[in-house]
Chains A and B, each alone.
Chain A
Amino acid sequence: MTEVRLNRLTKIYSGGKPAVDSITLDIPSGQFVSLLGPSGCGKTTTLKMLAGFEDVTSGEIAFDGEDVGRVPAEDRDIGMVFQNYALFPHMTVQQNLAFGLEMRKVSKAEIKRRVQATLEMVQLDHLADRYPAQLSGGQQQRVAIGRALTIEPRILLLDEPLANLDAKLREEMRVFIRDLQKRVGITTVYVTHDQAEAMTMSDLVVVMFDGHIAQAGAPREIYETPKTAKVAGFVGQVNLIEAPMDPATPGHAATPFGPVPVTAPGVGETVTLALRPEAIDIAPAGAPGTPATIERVQYSGAIVDYTLRFADGTAMEVKTIPRHPFATGDAVSLSVDLARFRQLEREY
C-alpha cells in the first residue's frame, strides 16, 4: 500500500515551455487514478517521471512521504505496463514473469511459486511456455500486467495499455484490469486519452491540459460539475450556453429554458453554462417547455442523438432513449430541470 504525492512536479525539456507545469496531486493508497487528457497534455511525461524514466526538473515525487525523485527506475519498485506491452520477445511467458523476481535474487522455488500464482491471476497458466509472438494482443496485455505485478511493486503504472486492442477486447480488459487492481489493492496510475476508460475504471480522474491539472475528482464529480468548458467537453458531450444576466431576476442568467441562478458577474456580462445533452427532456410540440425544431437525428439503438435549434438560432444537443419517433424538421418541446445547469469558470 503506497500513498503517492506529487508536489509542484515540473518537467521542462531543454529550452521549451514546461511539458508538466508544477502539478500537485495526492493519490491515496490503493486508489485507481487516471491521468486523462489529449496528446501533449503532459500525462505521459508525468507517468515517466513517476517511473523514473524521465528526470524531474523540479518538484517532488513522494511514495509514502519518501522523496523518490532521484531514485533510478530500477530501484524504484514500480510495475509498469507499456502501450505496446514491451514483452521480452526472446523469453517465454513464464520467463517474462520471472524476470523481475530474478533481478531481486528471489530463490528458485519462490520464483516458481509466484510465477505460477501470477499465471493463474492473469488466467494464462495454459500458455506459460509460449513466446510473446505466439500470443494474441489481449493475452500479451495480460502477460504485461502480470509481469508488472509479480514483483509486488509499490505502485502500478499503465501507459495507454488498451490503445492497441480492438473495441470489444478493450471493454473486457477494462473490467479485467479494474477487478485485478481491486483484488490486489495496489495504488495505480493509468494514463489514457479515452474518457470512457478513465470514467469507468477510476476512483479519481485527473484531467490535464497543457501541462496543468484542469480538474481532479471522482468520475461523477468531473462529469456533473466540470469546472471549465474544456473539462466538460473532454469527458463527454456538452451544450455550452453563453447566457446574459437576466434583468428581470437579479442573480439569474437568462436561458431559453428560463432564469438560472448563478454567482453574479458584473452587470451586463455573460456567464457560461454547461448542460449535458441527456439532462434535456424532449416531448412532442404542445407539451410544456421551450419550442425547438429537430435538425438532425442520429439513431444508435439504445439511445438517439438529436441536434435541435431554437427560434433564436441557438443549437442544442439532446441525448435520450428513443421514446418518440421524431424525424428531421419536426417541431418539439424541450424542458429541463434548471438544477442541471452548471456554471463554468472563465478560462484565460
Chain B
Amino acid sequence: MSQRKTFLLLLPAGVLLVVFLAIPYVSVFISAFREPGQGTPYGEGYTIANFTRILGDWFYVKQALNTMLIGAVTTLATLVIGLPVAFQLARPDLKLRGLFYGIVLSPLLVGIVIRSYGWTILLGNNGVINRTLREWGWIDGPLPLMYNTLGIVIALTHVFLPFMILPIMSAVQGIDPSVGSAARSLGAKRPTVIRRVLLPLAMPGIQSGCILVFVLALSSYVTPALIGGLRVKTTAVTVVDAMIDTFQWPFGAALALTLSVLGGGSVLIFARLTRMKWK
C-alpha cells in the first residue's frame, strides 16, 4: 500500500483525536488565561490572575498537595498489594488462570457510582466495619473512615489495583525463566534471586503501573466526590465545582491546568528516577 493510502487509513482516527482531544485541550489551555465573565463563560481580554489566585491561596495549594498525596499513597498501596499478586499470576504453572484474572479485573466490572456507594456502606460511621467493631467491643466511637483522605485512598486503591497488577504481571511473564535458574546456579538463594534479578527485570511493568495508577488517582472525580463528600475535596472535585456550580470557567481551567502540570511534572521526575539504562 502506498504511503498516501496508509495516511488515508489514519484519517478517521486523526479527525477523532483532533476534534475530541486536541481542540478541548487547547481550549482549556486558552480559557485558563481568560478574564472571568459576567453571565458569559469568559470575559474580554487575557490575564494570569486565575493562576495568581490559586498560588496565592493556601486553600487551593493545600488541596492540590493533598490530591498529590492521595495519588502517591494510592500508588504505593496498589504497588504493595499488587506486586506479590502480579508475581503469582505470572507463574507459568498457575491453575484456574481465568478465574484469577476475573477476580483481578472485578473492580472494573462494577459501575463507578455503585462501587463508591458500596464503599460508603462499608466505611460509614454506621457502616459495616464500624458497627462490627463496636459490637465486638473493640472501639467506643466510630473510626473516621469516610469523608477523609483515608477513605478516598481505600476506595481508589480498590478500583485502580488492576492497573498496577496487569503491567507488572506482563513484565514478569516476559522474564526468561532460565535467568532465575542462572542466578541460582551462581549461588543466589530465592530471596536474592527476587531482589537482584526478578524485581529489577519487572521494573518496566512496575514503572508503567505506578504512572498509570498515579495519573488515574490524581484525575479521578466520582470516587473522591462521593467518599470525600463535602469535607475533603480533591482538586479534580473543585475543578468541577468551579466549572459547573459557580460557573467560573477560566478559574476552573486554570485549576485543571495546574493539576496537569503538577501531575505531569511528577510523572516526568518519577520516570527519570526509575530510568532503566539496559532497556
Contact = CB atoms under 8 A, between A and B. Distances in A.
A91 to B, nearest CB: 7
Interface string B196-234: 110011010000000000000000000000000000000
B200 A90 contact: yes
Contacts of B277: 131
A103 B278 contact: no
Given A82-B181, A88-B201, A132-B278, 15 more contacts: A53-B184, A53-B185, A73-B181, A75-B187, A80-B181, A80-B182, A86-B176, A86-B178, A88-B182, A88-B183, A89-B201, A90-B278, A99-B188, A131-B278, A147-B182
Interface residues of A, number: 31
A90 B203 CA distance: 10
Contacts of A88: 179, 182-183, 197, 201
A78 B192 contact: no
B178 A103 contact: no
A103 B185 contact: no
A88 B203 CA distance: 13
A79 B185 contact: yes
Interface in B129-158: none
17 contacts: A53-B185, A74-B184, A74-B187, A74-B188, A75-B187, A77-B187, A87-B179, A88-B179, A88-B183, A89-B201, A90-B203, A100-B187, A103-B192, A104-B187, A131-B278, A133-B278, A151-B187
Band of interface residues on B: 20 to 34
A64 B203 CA distance: 42
Interface in A148-178: 148, 151
A133 B188 CA distance: 23
A99 to B, nearest CB: 5
Interface of B: 176, 178-179, 181-189, 192, 196-197, 200-201, 203, 276-278
B240 to A, nearest CB: 43
Nearest to A91: B278
Contacts of B184: 52-53, 72-74
A103 B186 contact: yes
A72 B189 CA distance: 9
Interface in A57-106: 72-80, 82-84, 86-91, 99-100, 103-104
A51 interface: yes
B278 A100 contact: no
Given A100-B186, A100-B187, A89 B178 contact: no
A86 B179 contact: yes
A86 B181 CA distance: 8
A80 B189 CA distance: 16
B277 to A, nearest CB: 7
